[in-house]
Structure 1
Amino acid sequence: MKAIQLQKPGGLDNLKVVELDDPGQPGRGEIRVRIHASSLNFHDLGVALGQMPAADGRIPMSDGAGVVEAVGDGVSDFQPGDHVVSTFFPEWLDGEPEIADFSTTPGDGIDGFACEYVVRPATAFTRAPQGYSFAEAATLTTAGLTAWRALVVNGQLKAGDTVLVLGTGGVSIFALQLAKAMGATVIATSSSDEKLKRVQSLGADHVINYKTTPDWGDKVRELTAGRGVDHTVEVGGPATLTQSIQATRIGGHISLIGVLTGISGEVPTVALMARQQKLHGLIVGNRAQQLAMIRALESTAIKPVIDQTFALENLADAFALQKKGGHFGKIVLEF
């Protein structure tokens, strides 16, 4: 089968197209899946660049969507022909988090989905939403479930709440779509007026250009009559957290899910305490949460926003686009 492997040291030039042995037929509790799509995440880019060291020859990409070709003994959840999507933590099926690293995550601790076929435990997949293409389904594993857990599972989002989303990457766009579908008011930020027009077309109620309004936390408070938002989806990290605290209401909920501005920095603990806010760090979610999200998606008109699509062998070009940060929504591989 055709696959992409990352050779050491990391770097986009070290993503190599290779021919590997077919993984064969599934054993007990396993399924064989023909992979047709994957999508790019910040985590995947970090692995590809060597910022998150992986084993030499690792097959990258944590997201995978495809069709079941065969099932092993003891598998009752799937049958050949089912369209499926992978899970980020294949061994975290339900309950509270039990892992604090990426040792079981495809594309990092184990081989990922930049390949044509995989044989994995059946519990490493869920069914894809009905009516979704492979490309659309492939956006759900990481970005979709992160937004769902941040707002619905941890934040207990309800109609009438206000939500702040930062930027126009995959998680933020999913959060916008989910919040609007559930009856929330959404404020979105970006450095691009063109992108802000696009988020308005997706339903954003208010938009802020953070380059022309550097104190955007105050602007959010102004837009909410001084109260602040109920939920902030914080994808920036150190450079944006202070403004997010200012933008969020007293007792509000901040989901800390990204490190786009760095992996360490000052935390304004006094402001966080004074406003009595919940700062909740999270990484994606479990299989049960993914199943709940898919049921919700099937009851709404939400479809992922895909910016560009690349062939498998052009993965390095796709990562180069992601690194530049010019995309809106998700970048996808189809093969």
Structure 2
Amino acid sequence: MTGNRARPHRLLLVGGLFLLAPLVGEYLFGNIAITELPFVLVLASLYGGGAVLIREVARRTGRGWPTMLLLALAYGLFEEGPVDQMLWNPHYGGIKDFGLSYAGTYVEWLGTSVQLLQDVVSLHTVWSICVPIALVEAFDRGRPRPWLGRTGLIIVASVFVLGSLFLAVAQIDADGFVASAAQYAGTSAVILTLVVAVFVVDRRPLPRLDATAPSPWLVGAFSFVAAGLVVARQYLPESVSAWLVATGWFVLVAFAGALVLRWSRSRGWGGQHRLALAGGALLTYAWLGFQQARYLDVSRTTALIGNAVFGIGAVGLLILAARRQRSEGAQPVADQPDVTPPGRDAGSPSPPAL
């Protein structure tokens, strides 16, 4: 494929990721009703802009998923901290008892709850950023590579900044809550540390293990179960200690992370496995959305119709992505992008227009 023919395809991938991030992060999750679908364009400036920037930074600097995970974590803290202040607002979204639902693990010096931080880290790192990126990358051809040139990056970054400012002001206007300067400063310091850590992490790939990667079906099943355990806290009896549940979250994340790291260093690990990880998490949100329907400010029928539409769409997208991965062949593709000179897009004879 020539560079000129590749550009429209890459722009479609950018547009797909830009819209998919809020669709997965909010609508599939069941947090916003289908009647508010036009609002996705506003949310895309934050969710989609963040996902595209994270993906482009990682691929243009020769890095892969460890970088995207760190930046996704920083994004989650940015969205729920400086942008909408959910980390600190005890009546977030006009919910009178919002803070009380997390009071069991509130830490005074943090100014927030450990379980709330865990929810922010889980939901945004995994579902708002990493799952959409993995799904859209499954439709790319060959090795991971940048999709945008400098002009495109500037446009997306500008949309992200302006969208973040707009949503931050709208949230303050809606809730009338403004966090303290210390809360802003502390969270901003953590976000900056995560961003700096990206460029400190060694870019050299870890050595391969003398082992064979499991079947993508097994990887997907593990992802589905692990993701289900992450979101299952709300279904536990109130008699269960909040700190015990919070500790269990740390254990689960550590175990899952270590296992996936080991699998990713094994022979045969490739795009189908990464898609399976994303697919298991995606399907978790699909069933969770139906549970969330009772909280939406629309009729139960309307909420369930929306859940069905977004759920079927998610399953259909996952099937298409899996077929695309199989059509690319059985050979695993390393999770290392093509490193191109600054200002030039991979595979293009000249810098792309966008």
TM-score range, shorter chain: under 0.3
- Normalised by the length of structure 2, the TM-score is 0.26
- Normalised by the length of structure 1, the TM-score is 0.27
